[in-house]
Amino acid sequence: MARQMNIQCPNCRNPITAVVESVIDVTSDPQAKARFLGGRLNAVTCPNCGTPVNIATPILYHDGSKELLLVYVPMETPLPKQQQEKVIGELMKELTSKLPKEAMKGYLFNPKQALTLQGMMDTILQADGVTPEMMNEQRDRVRLIETFMSTPADLLESVVQQNDAKVDAQFLQTMSLMAQRMVQENRPDLAEQVLAVQERVATYSSFGQTLLEENRQQEEIVREVATELQALGNGATRADFIELALRYGADANRLQALVGLARPAFDYQFFTEFTTRVGSAPADQRDYMESVREQLVQLTQLVDQQQQMVVQEAAQLLQQLVNSPDVDAAVEENMPYLDDTFMAVLSANIQEAQRTGNIQMSARLKQVYDRVVAALRDNMQPELRFINDLLSMPEDQARKALAEQAADFGPVLVEMMDAVQEILSSRGEGELLEKLATLRQDAVQALQ
Ligand SMILES: [Zn+2]
């Protein structure tokens, strides 16, 4: 529901072609809500002089799941009431033409008019359970971040200490979100500044110090558990894992690290064996063993739920890419989320479409796949792209290309090959690993 509009930069008068969205339907475009609340809707940057320009346009906001219908007509274009109603009527027509019949309910005939954009955003947040107090707190946080950002480096420590009580988890999270948004707005330089200040705020504040210490301890525990798992080796039996868990039993952090690192070991058979162990143990130990078993059950469920959520998010993103009128732009916008899980979901969907003979869907999915692969390739470091290309060539051809080009990349090529080797071995890609080993030897030789 976006259209192009030609405007003029208020600063340099340069003509700008902007994409303008006037109708936001959260059901059909879930990301539009975040775009709107983040102030990124109908905002462009003049390509000529860099001035940020907000385009004043009427906005109709619809969230079917909350029966929320809001409309805003900007003050910049004062319209007589009659004309305002005409504008709103047109937006309503655009919205309702896309809604299924069963979604047509009473509230759709009575949009609530917001006087300001901020007021519209507040109403949307309130419908999410965000109270005005919470919004004020959030505004205070943003103001304090701005204060920290503009404090000279040598004074930051004392300014943070003066505000020590205000630095908590939500405060640091607000800084992270701010940095994330800046990356999305193509300002990685600003994001880096925010993250650098965030790191110093964490170091100087009581909350941050406690958090850093907790993280350090947790990391140490994960390292220790990982070492013990490694010591068990590939021949580890379920009985070994039961032993380890019983030894960790009193330490919930250690159990959590164990399940997180070796989820596949905690399968149905593991828990059956565990139950048998409990049954044959001396009576005075059973309660303790039973409680460890119960903790492990809960931890595996937790890990699985997290995994499922990740998969669901990937599936939603795929849906969005498939439905997008501009796949390239959508792929570009979602680069950070195009990870292994996403690729696995995409491949599974292609297979499923082929299996059920859905030719149209399968073609569309393959198109998305090609774009994603191309975009990932474009974003790769040159060495990585080269290694990737080598691995997809026949071996003699790859060795020839490597001999010719290895010197252009230098020793970093071998380092990158080692990184790729780790990824491939974690995925159990035996054939590619062999090929990579041969190429690595060639690379070392060529670089001597
Ligand atoms: Zn300009």
Q: What is the pLDDT of residues 213-242, one digit of tens each?
A: 988 888 889 889 988 888 887 788 999 999
Taking 80 as the threshold, does the pLDDT of residue 247 lie above it?
yes
Q: Is the pLDDT of residue 207 over 90?
A: yes
Q: How many CB atoms lie within 10 A of CB 417?
A: 20
Over residues 21-32, mean pLDDT: 88
Residues of the chain above pLDDT 70, percent: 98
Q: Give residue 16 CA to ligand 1 midpoint distance, Å.
A: 8
Q: How confident is the model at residue 282 (pLDDT cuts 50, 70, 90)?
A: very high
Where are the domains positioned within the chain? 2-130, 133-204, 210-309, 324-378, 382-447
Taking the centre of ligand 1 as the mean of its atom positions, its distance from the CA of residue 51, in whole angstroms, is 5
Cα 201 to middle of ligand 1, angstroms: 36
CB 424 within 8 A of CB 433: yes
Phi, psi (rounded to 5 degrees) for 99 = -85, 140
Contact 258, 245 (CB under 8 A): yes
pLDDT at 71: 94
- Whether residue 385 contacts residue 377, with contact meaning beta carbons closer than 8 Å, is answered with yes
Residue 9 CA, ligand 1 centroid: distance in Å: 5
Q: How far is the CA of 332 from the centre of ligand 1 (A)?
A: 24
C-alpha 182 – ligand 1 centre gap (Å): 20
How many other CB atoms are there within 10 angstroms of residue 289's CB atom?
Answer: 20
| Spatial distance between the Cα atoms of 104 and 147, rounded to a whole number of angstroms | 48
- Model pLDDT, residue 77: 61
Residue 272: its pLDDT value, please?
A: 94
14 C-alpha vs ligand 1 centroid, how far in Å? 5
Distance from Cα 33 to the centre of ligand 1, integer Å: 28
Q: pLDDT tens for residues 364-416?
A: 899 999 999 888 888 778 888 899 889 989 989 999 999 999 989 888 899 88
Backbone angles phi, psi at 113, to 5 degrees: -90, 130
Tell me the residue length of the chain: 448
Put simply, whether the predicted model's pTM sits higher than 0.75 gets the answer no
Instruction: Tokens for 115, please give them.
Output: 């006087």
Q: How far, in Å, is the centroid of ligand 1 from the Cα of 52?
A: 8
Return the structure tokens found at 57: 């346009």
- Evaluate whether 335 touches 375 at the Cβ level (below 8 Å): yes
Q: What is the mean pLDDT of residues 427-431?
A: 75
pLDDT of 248 = 93
Nearest to 266 by CA among 257, 279, 313: 257
Residue 248 near residue 259, CB atoms below 8 Å: no
Rounded to whole angstroms, how far apart are CA atoms 23 and 36? Answer: 11
- Ligand 1 centroid–CA 330 distance in Å is 26
Cα–Cα nearest to 446, from 393, 394, 392, 407: 407
Write the burial class of residue 3 (CB in 10 Å: 0-12 exposed, 13-18 middle, 19+ buried).
exposed
From 90, 122, 111, 199, select the one nearest 153 (Cα to Cα).
199
pLDDT tens string 109-161? 889 999 888 899 999 999 988 888 888 898 899 999 999 999 999 999 999 99
CA 87–ligand 1 middle distance (angstroms): 29
How many angstroms does the Cα of residue 55 sit away from the middle of ligand 1? 14
What is the Cα–Cα distance from 415 to 327, expressed in whole angstroms?
Answer: 34
**Residue 76 has what pLDDT?**
64
pLDDT of amino acid 141: 94
Kindly indicate the confidence band of residue 43, based on its pLDDT and cuts at 50, 70 and 90: confident
Q: What is the pLDDT of residue 216?
A: 87
Residues 272-299 have a mean pLDDT of 93
pLDDT of residue 143: 94
What spacing in Å lies between the alpha carbon of 5 and ligand 1's midpoint? 16
- Count of beta carbons in the 10 Å neighbourhood of residue 47: 10
pLDDT of residue 186 exceeding 70? yes
Query: In this predicted structure, what is the pLDDT of residue 78?
Result: 62
Res 339 pLDDT > 80:
yes
Q: For residue range 306-315, list pLDDT tens digits in order.
A: 888 888 888 8
Mean pLDDT of the chain: 88
What is the helix, strand, coil percentage profile of the chain, to 5?
70, 10, 20
Average pLDDT for residues 346-355, to the nearest whole number? 87
Residue 163, classed as helix, strand or coil, is coil
CA of 227 to the centre of ligand 1 (A): 57
Q: What is the DSSP letter of 42?
A: T
Predicted pLDDT of residue 241: 93
- Distance in Å, CA 6 to ligand 1 centroid: 13
pLDDT for residue 336: 80
pLDDT at 189: 86
